[in-house]
Homo-oligomer: A and B are copies of this chain.
Amino acid sequence: LGPHSEASEDVSIRLSDLAARLGGSLEGDGDLLITGIAGLEDATAGDISFCSDRRYRQFLATTKASAVIIGRNLDLPAGCRADLAIVRVENPYLAMGGTIGLLEPRYRPEPGVHETAVIAAGVELGKGVHVGARAVIGEDARVGARSSIGAGCVIASGVTMGSDCALYPNVTLYDGVVLGDRVIVHSGTVLGADGFGYAQHGGVHVKIPQVGGVVIEDDVEIGANSCVDRATLGVTRIGQGTKIDNMVQIGHNCQIGSHTIVCGQVGLSGTTKVGSGVMLGGQVGAAGHLTIGDGARVAGGTGVTNTVAAGVTVAGYPHQEISRWRRVNAALRRLPELVRRVSRLESTLGLGGEEDE
Contacts and interface: CB of A to CB of B under 8 A. Distances in A.
Contacts of A241: 204-205
B100 A211 contact: yes
A73 interface: no
Interface in A113-146: 114, 116, 118, 120, 132-134, 136, 138-139
Interface in A63-106: 91, 93-94, 96-97, 100-101, 104, 106
A354 interface: yes
A223 B196 contact: yes
A1 B138 contact: yes
B170 A154 contact: yes
B172 A39 contact: no
Interface residues of A, number: 130
Interface string A201-225: 1011111110100000000010111
Contact of A5 (B134, B138, B226, B243): B138
A211 to B, nearest CB: 5
Given A246-B229, A283-B267, A301-B317, A353 B341 contact: yes
A275 interface: no
Interface in A331-357: 331-339, 341-342, 344-346, 348-349, 351, 353-354, 356-357
A175 B5 contact: yes
Number of copies: 3
A61 interface: no
A181 interface: no
Interface in A228-247: 229, 232-234, 241, 243, 245-247
A72 to B, nearest CB: 15
A272 B94 CA distance: 22
A24 interface: no
A167 to B, nearest CB: 12
A106 B210 CA distance: 9
Contacts of A180: none
Nearest to A137: B1
Interface stretch (A14-22, A26-34, A183-191): A183-191
Nearest to A50: B233
Interface string A284-325: 010101000000000011010000000000000110100000
Contacts of A303: 283, 300-301
Nearest to A331: B335
A257 interface: no
A162 interface: no
Contacts of A261: 198, 205
A6 B157 contact: yes
B190 A224 contact: yes
A224 B227 contact: yes
* Most interface-central of A133, A154, A192, A345 (chain B CB within 10 A): A154
Contacts of A335: 328, 331-332, 335
Contacts of A38: 233-234
A322 to B, nearest CB: 13
14 contacts: A2-B156, A5-B139, A100-B209, A116-B116, A136-B152, A170-B170, A172-B187, A188-B190, A196-B223, A198-B261, A269-B300, A337-B354, A344-B353, A345-B351
Q: Give the 8 A-B residue pairs with the shortest CB-CB distance, closest first.
A: A94-B199, A97-B208, A154-B169, A193-B224, A172-B187, A190-B224, A1-B138, A4-B175
